[in-house]
Chains A and B, each alone.
Chain A
Amino acid sequence: MFGDYSLGDLGSIFVMQGFAGLILFSVYVLMALGLAIIFGQMGVINMAHGEFMILGAYVTWMTSNLFQAYLPGLFSGYFFLAMILAFVASGALGMLVEWALIRHLYKRPLDTLLATWGLSLMLQQAYRSVFGAREVGVELPQWMLGSLHVTESIEVPINGVFVMCLTVLITISVAYVMYKSRWGRQVRAVVQNRIMAGAVGINTEKVDRYTFGLGCGIAGIAGSAFTMIGSTGPTSGQLYIVDTFLVVVFGGAASLLGTIASAFSISQTQSTLEFFMSGSMAKVLTLLAVVGILMLRPQGLFALKVRK
């Protein structure tokens, strides 16, 4: 298939394809981080993860509308405020859900699957009633559209670069919070042994609530960022949920490094295969590879070593 093209053409295509893979990688990490915290650290199978993301997307849409109506001069910077608001809104909803629903189910992790699936249906219908069944278009400031011309034939999408930077920033923050801060130590203590953690004076209920809230908040930021590359509608969250679980499970629950490694390998496989065959076939082969590896390593790529 390459016979007809010049060396320069091929070179730039490979560079751009590399970028496409990196962008996909960032997208996967960003959508999986929140779930990695909730599923990995707390063992809650949160099927409503996609709906928390879409809440972030709707918050972004509302912020964009408000800025257009009242502060058109500051429109170019609204996205940063929108992401913060998305984090707050999704995080707050997450904490509410934890208090009302999840905390009663910690001892029955499989039931969280059903409960959060029901929650996802309720949230979808709520979005439909509030925002309407049709998709909404989120208008972006001019500087976030288009691409950077690196050379004559190499163009890098700006929104892709933005997502990459955001992913790096959030990953570093999450890693810092989980592994360096005092609160992160409490979270890990509760995960490893809830009763002992309680015995040494950690308020486990509070830790649970904030952990769940943090996971949902990050989902909100991801949803906000994805308004640049995807759709915003009541059921758009469903588009992300399968890939998200795939990344987290493949990486090995409870391991941040595993999530990143798994996002990297899945995204690179997928985008390389996509280039050589059709999109559907690429997806099939990627999933087959994941299934194969999980059969050999059921615990995922990286497993947390815990003394049982």
Chain B
Amino acid sequence: MSDEENKGLLSPLRRKLLMGMAAIPAITMLPRASFAQAPATSAVNTTGLAVTDTEVTVGILHSATGTMAISETGSIEAEKLAIEQINAMGGVLGRKIKFIQEDGASDWPTFAEKAKKLLVNDKVAAIMGCWTSASRKAVLPVMEQYNGMLYYPTFYEGLEQSKNVIYTGQEATQQILAGLNWIAKEKGAKTFFFIGSDYIWPRTSNKIARKHVENVLKGKVVGEEYYPLGNTQFNSVINKIKLTKPDVIFTDVVGGSNVAFYKQLKAAGIDLSKQALLTISVTEDEIDGIGGENIAGAYACMKYFQTLDNPNNKTFVPAFKKMWGEKTVIGDVTQAAYLGPWLWKLTVEKAGSFDVDKIAAASPGVEFKGAPEGYVRIHENHHLWSKTRVGRAKLDGQFELIYETADLVEPDPFPKGYQ
């Protein structure tokens, strides 16, 4: 898009146009059918979903209130942007997407309740939602019982696969292994110190990381520490890090603890430009709270960074900022959430139907060439093939891409030899 268009676009019409243009890269791969006359509702919806001749309803189910609102806000924003862009270019099978947003309120039973409401009362064709594993686990039985379709955006610990879920984030091996390989090779790292928050995701991830360090990299884990969620005092573990002098600090601390951890690390005189630190839990969103000066120099292992230099991302980032404000940052999960509505649309068009069973069957092999992270494809196990990337945090709170895998990494939610 030209510079002229970037300036002073204030009219709503032009804004909409711009949103639509941001999605142009995706047009190239649409099946031809989508430009033809919209097919009859009775043909594309045989199970009584909320589909009319002009509209199709989907649900957005995230925490807009409570502790998790910090993290889930970005996902809500990304999903709304994707829906608006899809509508601007004609919708799905000739139907505009209408969304019903429900608030999970950071409470897992509420998530299940709202998912049921969306499926049973609203008959939504798909749900974009959940963030924590706990909320997904609460929603999963509902999705399976009422045969819904969930697009789940967060990187997570794996060990799950369902006909009714498409996992648009990375499972643990996709996120961790390539990063560890890189740091072991690049820094000659032999000794690792693990520190995480005390719940399922860090514990599972560290288990996988430990096996990889010990069996594949032939290194040594010199410490493995967990702190309760919300812990704000890390001075003791920082002393242990100083005592054991690991080559790499490997962290999956989450939430408010993250901020405390990096501030205290810096205050204790650990200089991240000399001490290698690899995190799998800090995205641009978290750095907003941590402060760029406290984490500059740390490495993060993700699949997406806001600074990625590719044509898709160059239209995605301005469109996102246009809709949600100049100061918003886009983290890994936000991008994965953006993939949800697109993958659903592409799958519906491939299946030629909104029926959940047909979508579940058609999902494997669906590819999205307009993804801001580059190119993704859905695997038979309903996870995504995607690249692993390592970025280095800069003072301004953005990441500089240091390394990316040459090929897409295969999702492996039940990794052999790592359990």
Which residue numbers of A lie inside 8 Å of B, CB to CB?
Answer: 5, 9, 13, 16-17, 19-20, 23-24, 27, 125, 128, 132-139, 145-147, 149, 153, 155, 157-160, 226, 228-236, 238-240, 271, 274-275, 278-280, 282-283
Tell me the minimal C-beta distance from A273 to chain B in angstroms.
9
Contact among B66, B74, B232 with A235 in the assembled complex (CB-CB below 8 Å): B66
* CB pair A231 B259 closer than 8 Å: yes
Task: Determine whether B73 belongs to the interface, using a CB cutoff of 8 Å to chain A.
Answer: yes
* CB pair B226 A280 closer than 8 Å: yes
* CB pair A157 B267 closer than 8 Å: yes
**Nearest B residue to A160, CB-CB:** B267
A139-B293, A231-B289 as given contacts; A271 in contact with B263, CB under 8 Å: no
Name 17 interchain pairs, CB-CB below 8 A, sorted by A: A17-B236, A23-B235, A133-B70, A137-B287, A137-B290, A137-B291, A138-B291, A145-B293, A146-B266, A229-B233, A231-B232, A231-B255, A231-B257, A239-B256, A278-B224, A280-B198, A282-B236
User: Count of B residues near A, CB < 8 Å?
Assistant: 48
* CB pair B288 A134 closer than 8 Å: yes
**Nearest B residue to A145, CB-CB:** B266
* CB pair B65 A128 closer than 8 Å: yes
* CB pair A134 B263 closer than 8 Å: no
Q: How far is the CA of A285 from the CA of B378 in the complex (A)?
A: 46
Which B residues are CB-close (under 8 A) to A125? Answer: 65
Contact among B64, B69, B228, B233 with A27 in the assembled complex (CB-CB below 8 Å): B233
Q: How far is the CA of A158 from the CA of B266 in the complex (A)?
A: 10
* CB pair B269 A275 closer than 8 Å: no
Contact among B65, B74, B226, B236 with A275 in the assembled complex (CB-CB below 8 Å): B236
* CB pair B198 A134 closer than 8 Å: no
Task: Determine whether B87 belongs to the interface, using a CB cutoff of 8 Å to chain A.
Answer: no
Q: How far is the CA of A283 from the CA of B225 in the complex (A)?
A: 13
Which B residues are CB-close (under 8 A) to A235? Answer: 66-67, 69-70, 256
Tell me the minimal C-beta distance from B25 to chain A in angstroms.
28
Which A residues are CB-close (under 8 A) to B255? Answer: 231
Which B residues are CB-close (under 8 A) to A27? Answer: 232-233
Task: Determine whether B110 belongs to the interface, using a CB cutoff of 8 Å to chain A.
Answer: no
**Nearest A residue to B329, CB-CB:** A134
Q: What 3 pairs between A and B have smallest CB-CB spacing?
A: A135-B289, A231-B259, A20-B235
* CB pair A279 B198 closer than 8 Å: yes
* CB pair A16 B239 closer than 8 Å: yes
* CB pair B266 A275 closer than 8 Å: no
Tell me the minimal C-beta distance from A141 to chain B in angstroms.
11
A16-B242, A279-B225, A279-B226 as given contacts; A271 in contact with B235, CB under 8 Å: yes
Tell me the minimal C-beta distance from B282 to chain A in angstroms.
12
* CB pair A147 B267 closer than 8 Å: yes
Task: Determine whether B240 belongs to the interface, using a CB cutoff of 8 Å to chain A.
Answer: yes
Tell me the minimal C-beta distance from A242 to chain B in angstroms.
9
Tell me the minimal C-beta distance from A17 to chain B in angstroms.
5
* CB pair A275 B240 closer than 8 Å: yes
Contact among A13, A128, A239 with B242 in the assembled complex (CB-CB below 8 Å): A13
* CB pair B289 A136 closer than 8 Å: yes
Q: How far is the CA of A232 from the CA of B69 in the complex (A)?
A: 14
Which B residues are CB-close (under 8 A) to A19? Answer: 235
Tell me the minimal C-beta distance from A36 to chain B in angstroms.
20
Which A residues are CB-close (under 8 A) to B259? Answer: 135, 137, 230-232
Tell me the minimal C-beta distance from B79 to chain A in angstroms.
15
**Nearest A residue to B286, CB-CB:** A135
* CB pair A238 B267 closer than 8 Å: no
Q: How far is the CA of A24 from the CA of B233 in the complex (A)?
A: 7
Which B residues are CB-close (under 8 A) to A278? Answer: 224-227
* CB pair B289 A137 closer than 8 Å: yes
**Nearest A residue to B67, CB-CB:** A235
Q: How far is the CA of A17 from the CA of B234 in the complex (A)?
A: 11
Q: How far is the CA of A186 from the CA of B73 in the complex (A)?
A: 49
Contact among A159, A228, A233 with B256 in the assembled complex (CB-CB below 8 Å): A233
Which A residues are CB-close (under 8 A) to B264? Answer: 157, 229
Q: How far is the CA of A272 from the CA of B48 in the complex (A)?
A: 62
* CB pair B256 A236 closer than 8 Å: yes
**Nearest B residue to A148, CB-CB:** B269
Tell me the minimal C-beta distance from A1 to chain B in angstroms.
9
Task: Determine whether B258 belongs to the interface, using a CB cutoff of 8 Å to chain A.
Answer: yes
Tell me the minimal C-beta distance from A271 to chain B in angstroms.
5
* CB pair B243 A145 closer than 8 Å: no
Which A residues are CB-close (under 8 A) to B33? Answer: none
Which A residues are CB-close (under 8 A) to B66? Answer: 235
Which B residues are CB-close (under 8 A) to A238? Answer: 67, 230
* CB pair B256 A271 closer than 8 Å: no
Tell me the minimal C-beta distance from B301 to chain A in angstroms.
21
Tell me the minimal C-beta distance from A216 to chain B in angstroms.
20
Which A residues are CB-close (under 8 A) to B397? Answer: 137
* CB pair A13 B243 closer than 8 Å: yes
Which A residues are CB-close (under 8 A) to B64? Answer: 133
* CB pair A149 B269 closer than 8 Å: yes
**Nearest B residue to A128, CB-CB:** B69
* CB pair A229 B232 closer than 8 Å: yes
Q: Mark B256-276, 1 if CB is under 8 A from A, else 0.
A: 111110011011110000000
Contact among A153, A233, A280 with B289 in the assembled complex (CB-CB below 8 Å): A233
* CB pair A234 B267 closer than 8 Å: no
Further contacts, 9 of them, CB under 8 A, given A146-B266, A147-B268, A239-B232: A20-B233, A20-B239, A134-B73, A146-B267, A159-B263, A278-B227, A279-B227, A279-B228, A280-B228
**Nearest A residue to B271, CB-CB:** A146
Q: Mark B229-251, 1 if CB is under 8 A from A, else 0.
A: 01111011111101100000000
Which A residues are CB-close (under 8 A) to B289? Answer: 134-137, 231-233
Contact among B224, B233, B256, B291 with A139 in the assembled complex (CB-CB below 8 Å): B291
Q: How far is the CA of A158 from the CA of B236 in the complex (A)?
A: 16
Task: Determine whether B285 belongs to the interface, using a CB cutoff of 8 Å to chain A.
Answer: yes
Which B residues are CB-close (under 8 A) to A9? Answer: 243
A125-B65, A147-B267, A157-B264 as given contacts; A5 in contact with B243, CB under 8 Å: yes
Q: How far is the CA of A149 from the CA of B228 in the complex (A)?
A: 30
Tell me the minimal C-beta distance from A146 to chain B in angstroms.
6
Which A residues are CB-close (under 8 A) to B257? Answer: 231
* CB pair B239 A230 closer than 8 Å: no
